[in-house]
């Protein structure tokens, strides 16, 4: 394959922009004029460096998947794409461009059709993957220049329809897939129900808007709309690690279409929504679910776009899961996944954020047959779904042609699972797998870690076992009189306390309770208040007034809070404990244990 050189690209420049002489003859359209004016607001040292740094050596050509799959088309070369912005820059901000425009290639767009052609180049022939940047001896950041061009076009309303729709949803609804708040909450509740059922623990619900948690967890709206089980898997991992965590009811979209459209204002606003929610909930850490551009835009770009000082750490859930395993909070079985897996590096995570080793370390903990793609890490090829490409259906045919590079890479590994830590990549890879009929599927690390959990060994199980052992010792051999007229309630209380090691005596009415208290001399009485015949209040008074029963600790367990005033207003000694029905097993046992501990301290 012999990709076109950048010299050919320059020669083949058929984009119908016109040089300055013609521009004088014909006034630019309003949009074309505004676009040129706005360029001044985008210029900084990094951008100007890339604008003036290119020597058109062509060394970046073979880095680009568009060039490799369109070898005879010079318009696919990175330098050709970036030159579109260079021409405008030279015409407006470089004296050589003003004096010798024909010599230095200074040209400006004149008509709205010119802008449409620039749109097709900026949005339709580059996924902003930055692979060419890694292969440029001059350090030219073509992807950043392309983003600037996208931003200029977006500012004057020239953009693919998909970009317009997604940006509007993120501006107006608060997330880029237009997920309504009630649908988001419904999905979290649905996933909660499934998780509670799966792990058999009513406390395994997904917390929403809890304050003062260690972790606030944000996601990609794609998870709500197309892949909610990644939310359930993450929730299972947080639960197993016994993490103090929450999801926010708003400000939960970590993705940021501003990165793709070049709209820094949208980028700042979207990032700020997340940052403000972390502050509002007083969470100590922001954990970002596996999403390359979500991580890059939220952690690396949005603080600048939004001019916000961030006071809390932000991390990808890759790091969170890895930490839990290293700290022993979760335990995983690497033998659960028996298939051959390979790892696709998201451009944003690997090239733009340097996250290459942690996902591999984690992957090796949950899979035994892992093979690398070639090339990999920062040299990995784009999935072709990056840069918002999945939302621009008009460019799909060209994108799928360019995806052959990635398809060949995957095929060579022989893997049946491609793991990636990016939702954009999940979509891009799934699309090319279907198109090139590859025999494999795409998963994320959260899927593999969630499936590999050994729940019995995880922090939440260890904590429960320790609590049970502690509670069992505290109530071991205690003789407890359980007084309740309702069979179900009495059985529940007796069973829980017996499981915690207590010896149980039961009474189903007031008279029987007084009788058993006198004859059996229990160590403690749990007393229902609303009973037919002699009420619990009367029983309480008699027990406190009896010389042989007055010192027995009493814990009132009632479904009638109105009796609290009566009991506590009585002239007799206050009860040692008071609980409302329905009472949780753990609270009941812990409450009675504390009563015994306090009594022993006093003695």
User: Does the CA dihedral 16-20-23-29 come out positive or negative?
Assistant: positive
Q: Which is nearer to ligand SF4, 58 or 292 (CB)?
A: 58
CB of 39 to ligand SF4, least distance (A): 19
Interface with ligand SF4 (CB under 6 A), residue from 70, 75, 130, 398: 130
Q: Which is nearer to ligand SF4, 123 or 540 (CB)?
A: 123
CB of 48 to ligand SF4, least distance (A): 15
Q: Which is nearer to ligand SF4, 136 or 318 (CB)?
A: 136
Binding segment (CB under 6 A) for ligand SF4, from list 136-144, 215-223, 553-561, 591-599: 136-144
Interface with ligand SF4 (CB under 6 A), residue from 131, 273, 299, 406: 131
Interface with ligand SF4 (CB under 6 A), residue from 88, 129, 281, 514: 129
CB of 433 to ligand SF4, least distance (A): 20
Q: 181 to 220, contacts with ligand SF4 by CB under 6 A?
A: none
- Give Cα separations from 175 to 162, 226, 306, 391, 457 (angstroms): 14, 14, 17, 14, 37
Q: Which is nearer to ligand SF4, 115 or 122 (CB)?
A: 122
Distance of CA 563 to the CA centre of its chain: 47
CB of 84 to ligand SF4, least distance (A): 12
Binding map of ligand SF4 across residues 137-166, x = CB under 6 A, - = no contact: -x-x-xx-----------------------
Q: 351 to 370, contacts with ligand SF4 by CB under 6 A?
A: none
502-537 exposure pattern, b = at least 16 Cβ within 10 A, e = fewer = bebbbbbbbebbbebbeeeebbbbbbbbbbeeebbb
CB of 302 to ligand SF4, least distance (A): 21
For every residue of 5-65, DSSP letters joined together read: PHHHHHHT-----EEHHHHHHSPPPHHHHHHHHHHHHH--HHHHHHHHH-----TTGGG-H
Q: Which is nearer to ligand SF4, 403 or 426 (CB)?
A: 403
Distance of CA 57 to the CA centre of its chain: 41
CB of 104 to ligand SF4, least distance (A): 15
CB atoms closer than 10 angstroms to residue 454 = 13
Q: 167 to 186, contacts with ligand SF4 by CB under 6 A?
A: none
DSSP, collapsed to helix, strand or coil, labels residue 503 as: strand
Return the biggest CA–CA distance within the chain.
Answer: 113
DSSP state of 207: P
Binding segment (CB under 6 A) for ligand SF4, from list 131-139, 301-309, 324-332, 414-422: 131-139
What is the signed CA dihedral for 432, 436, 440, 445, rounded to 10 degrees? Answer: -20
Interface with ligand SF4 (CB under 6 A), residue from 69, 127, 261, 342: 127
Binding map of ligand SF4 across residues 483-512, x = CB under 6 A, - = no contact: ------------------------------
CB of 129 to ligand SF4, least distance (A): 4
CB atoms closer than 10 angstroms to residue 14 = 8
3-state helix, strand, coil split of the chain in percent (to 5) is 55, 10, 35
CB of 27 to ligand SF4, least distance (A): 32
Number of residues that bind ligand SF4 (CB under 6 A): 26
Distance of CA 250 to the CA centre of its chain: 13
CB of 227 to ligand SF4, least distance (A): 26
Q: 45 to 104, contacts with ligand SF4 by CB under 6 A?
A: 54-60, 63-64, 66, 78-79, 81
Alpha helices by DSSP H, listed for 290-355, are 292-295, 302-305, 317-326, 347
- The answer to whether 56 and 7 have CB atoms below 8 angstroms apart is yes
CB of 88 to ligand SF4, least distance (A): 17
How far is 26 from 142, CA to CA, in rounded Å?
Answer: 30
Q: Which is nearer to ligand SF4, 136 or 589 (CB)?
A: 136
- The answer to whether 89 and 47 have CB atoms below 8 angstroms apart is no
Q: Which is nearer to ligand SF4, 3 or 553 (CB)?
A: 3
What is the signed CA dihedral for 249, 254, 255, 259, rounded to 10 degrees? Answer: 130
Binding segment (CB under 6 A) for ligand SF4, from list 121-129, 253-261, 447-455, 556-564: 121-129
Q: Is 259 in the site for ligand SF4 (CB under 6 A)?
A: no
> Backbone dihedral region of 35: left (phi > 0), alpha (psi from -120 to 50 degrees) or beta?
alpha
How far is 117 from 153, CA to CA, in rounded Å?
Answer: 11
- Give Cα separations from 434 to 51, 223, 429, 431, 592 (angstroms): 38, 20, 8, 5, 61
Cis peptide bond upstream of 121, omega within 30: no
Q: Which is nearer to ligand SF4, 150 or 423 (CB)?
A: 150
CB of 404 to ligand SF4, least distance (A): 14
DSSP state of 548: T
CB of 166 to ligand SF4, least distance (A): 20
Interface with ligand SF4 (CB under 6 A), residue from 85, 88, 108, 132: 132
- The answer to whether 589 and 471 have CB atoms below 8 angstroms apart is yes
Q: 432 to 471, contacts with ligand SF4 by CB under 6 A?
A: none
- The answer to whether 517 and 543 have CB atoms below 8 angstroms apart is yes
Q: Is 128 in the site for ligand SF4 (CB under 6 A)?
A: yes
- Give Cα separations from 26 to 13, 29, 105, 117, 284 (angstroms): 21, 9, 18, 18, 58
The alpha-carbon radius of gyration of the chain (Å, integer) is: 33
CB of 398 to ligand SF4, least distance (A): 11
CB of 61 to ligand SF4, least distance (A): 7
Q: Which is nearer to ligand SF4, 104 or 585 (CB)?
A: 104
Residue numbers at the binding site for ligand SF4 (CB under 6 A): 6, 54-60, 63-64, 66, 78-79, 81, 126-132, 136, 138, 140, 142-143
């Amino acid at each position: 394959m012999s990709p076109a050189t950048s010299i050919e690209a320059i020669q083949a420049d058929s984009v119908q922009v016109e040089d300055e002489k013609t521009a004088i003859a014909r006034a630019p359209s309003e949009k074309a004029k505004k676009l040129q004016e706005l360029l001044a607001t985008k210029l900084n040292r990094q951008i100007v460096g890339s604008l003036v740094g290119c020597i058109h050596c062509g060394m970046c050509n073979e880095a680009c998947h568009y060039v490799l799959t369109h070898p005879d088309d010079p318009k696919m070369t990175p330098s050709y794409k970036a030159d579109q912005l260079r021409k405008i820059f030279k015409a407006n901000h470089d004296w050589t461009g003003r004096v010798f425009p024909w010599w230095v290639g200074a040209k400006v767009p004149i008509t709205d059709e010119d802008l449409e052609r620039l749109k097709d180049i900026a949005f339709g022939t580059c996924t902003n993957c930055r692979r060419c940047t890694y292969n440029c001896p001059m350090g030219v950041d073509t992807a950043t220049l392309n983003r600037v061009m996208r931003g200029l076009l977006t500012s004057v309303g020239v953009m693919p329809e998909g970009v317009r729709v997604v940006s509007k949803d993120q501006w107006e609804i608060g997330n880029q897939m237009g997920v309504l708040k009630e649908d988001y909450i419904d999905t979290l509740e649905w996933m909660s129900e499934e998780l509670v059922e799966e792990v058999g623990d009513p406390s395994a619900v997904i917390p929403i808007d809890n304050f003062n948690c260690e972790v606030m967890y944000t996601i990609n709206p794609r998870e709500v709309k197309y892949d909610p089980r990644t939310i359930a898997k993450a929730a299972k991992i947080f639960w197993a690690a016994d993490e103090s965590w929450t999801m926010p009811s708003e400000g939960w979209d970590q993705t940021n279409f501003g990165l793709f459209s070049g709209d820094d204002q949208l980028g700042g606003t979207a990032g700020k929504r997340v940052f403000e929610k972390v502050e509002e909930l007083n969470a100590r850490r922001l954990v970002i679910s596996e999403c390359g551009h979500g991580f890059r835009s939220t952690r690396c770009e949005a603080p600048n776009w939004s001019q916000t000082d961030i006071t809390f750490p932000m991390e990808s859930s890759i790091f969170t899961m890895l930490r839990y395993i290293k700290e022993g909070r979760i335990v995983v079985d690497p033998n659960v996944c028996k298939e051959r897996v390979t790892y696709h590096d998201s451009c944003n995570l690997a090239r733009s954020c340097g996250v290459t080793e942690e996902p591999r370390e984690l992957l090796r903990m949950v899979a035994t047959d892992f093979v690398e793609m070639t090339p990999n890490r920062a040299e990995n090829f784009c999935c072709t779904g990056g840069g918002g490409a999945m939302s621009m259906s008009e460019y799909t045919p060209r994108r799928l042609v360019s995806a052959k590079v990635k398809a060949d890479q995957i095929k060579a590994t022989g893997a049946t699972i491609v793991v990636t830590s990016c939702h954009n990549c999940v979509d891009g890879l799934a699309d090319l797998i279907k198109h090139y009929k590859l025999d494999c599927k795409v998963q994320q690390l959260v899927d593999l870690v969630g499936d590999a959990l050994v729940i019995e060994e995880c922090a939440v199980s260890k904590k429960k076992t320790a609590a049970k052992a502690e509670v069992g010792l505290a109530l071991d051999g205690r003789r407890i009189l359980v007084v309740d007229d309702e069979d179900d309630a009495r059985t529940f209380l007796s069973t829980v306390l017996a499981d915690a090691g207590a010896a149980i005596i039961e009474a189903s009415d007031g008279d029987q309770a007084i009788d058993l208290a006198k004859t059996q001399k229990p160590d403690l009485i749990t007393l229902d208040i609303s009973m037919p015949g002699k009420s619990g209040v009367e029983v309480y008074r008699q027990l406190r007034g009896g010389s042989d029963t007055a010192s027995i600790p009493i814990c009132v367990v009632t479904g009638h809070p109105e009796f609290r005033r009566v009991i506590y207003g009585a002239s007799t000694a206050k009860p040692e404990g008071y609980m409302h029905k329905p009472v949780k097993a753990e609270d009941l046992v812990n409450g009675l244990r504390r009563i015994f501990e306090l009594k022993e301290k006093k003695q």
